[in-house]
A and B are shown apart, each in its own frame.
Chain A
Amino acid sequence: AQKITQTQPGMFVQEKEAVTLDCTYDTSDPSYGLFWYKQPSSGEMIFLIYQGSYDQQNATEGRYSLNFQKARKSANLVISASQLGDSAMYFCAMIPRRNTGFQKLVFGTGTRLLVSP
């Protein structure tokens, strides 16, 4: 079974600063994918970034980067130059990659980020 742990229920950052949201995971699958989603107060689930377990480089998408440390089983999200619109709930999630397909996402409990002016 897979488990995602997000130990920060809330984070507070000032506009234009960088912030790191922590995520650790546990799985026995040799191959898996890690995701970060953003959920604003409106409720939609917005995909931010993906990291495959065998990817050699850390994933980056604009202001988002994923600090992937496989040996530590951590996949922290780094948001550079925070903006007021970044205030939202952030979920870390993982999915095993198997030949059988049909895999479901397992989510962490989320971190609420508040960006202040």
Chain B
Amino acid sequence: AAGVIQSPRHLIKEKRETATLKCYPIPRHDTVYWYQQGPGQDPQFLISFYEKMQSDKGSIPDRFSAQQFSDYHSELNMSSLELGDSALYFCASSPNDRGSYEQYFGPGTRLTVT
């Protein structure tokens, strides 16, 4: 079965650079969630999209932005990177907007900011 695809799997950036993380949900999944997991921490919700519109927002810095495209893939754009942005970034997808609670996680993108 197809799974959530995230690219790149690993990314190394310097402070103040920008980064773009991509997420391709499972086919026919129209809801995408982004989570950030810092070293030794639990995942924290950043933002979610349903049908290309932002549906919920968590503790996402103003330096970050995200969107969902017509093919339902999503991109997380991170600017002015800081050392504290080093984390594992997960994307998860869900099959529909209402009543569905299952979220299928991608393998994550490990971002290292030096």
Q: Which residues of A contact B (CB under 8 A)?
A: 33, 37, 43-47, 50, 91, 95, 97, 99-110
Contact = CB atoms under 8 A, between A and B. Distances in A.
A50 B31 contact: no
A92 to B, nearest CB: 10
A102 B58 CA distance: 12
Of B35, B43, B48, B100, most A-chain CB atoms within 10 Å: B43
A104 B32 CA distance: 10
Contacts of A105: 33, 35, 43, 45, 92, 103
A108 B45 contact: no
Given A44-B108, A45-B43, A102 B88 contact: no
A102 to B, nearest CB: 4
Contacts of B56: 102-104
- For the complex of A and B, 4 pairs with smallest distance between CB atoms: A102-B55, A104-B45, A107-B42, A45-B105
Contacts of A47: 102, 104-105
Nearest to B105: A45
Given A43-B88, A44-B105, A109-B42, A104 B99 contact: no
Given A44-B107, A109-B42, 20 more contacts: A33-B101, A43-B88, A43-B108, A45-B108, A47-B104, A47-B105, A50-B101, A95-B101, A100-B98, A101-B99, A102-B48, A102-B50, A103-B56, A104-B33, A104-B48, A104-B56, A104-B58, A105-B92, A107-B42, A107-B43
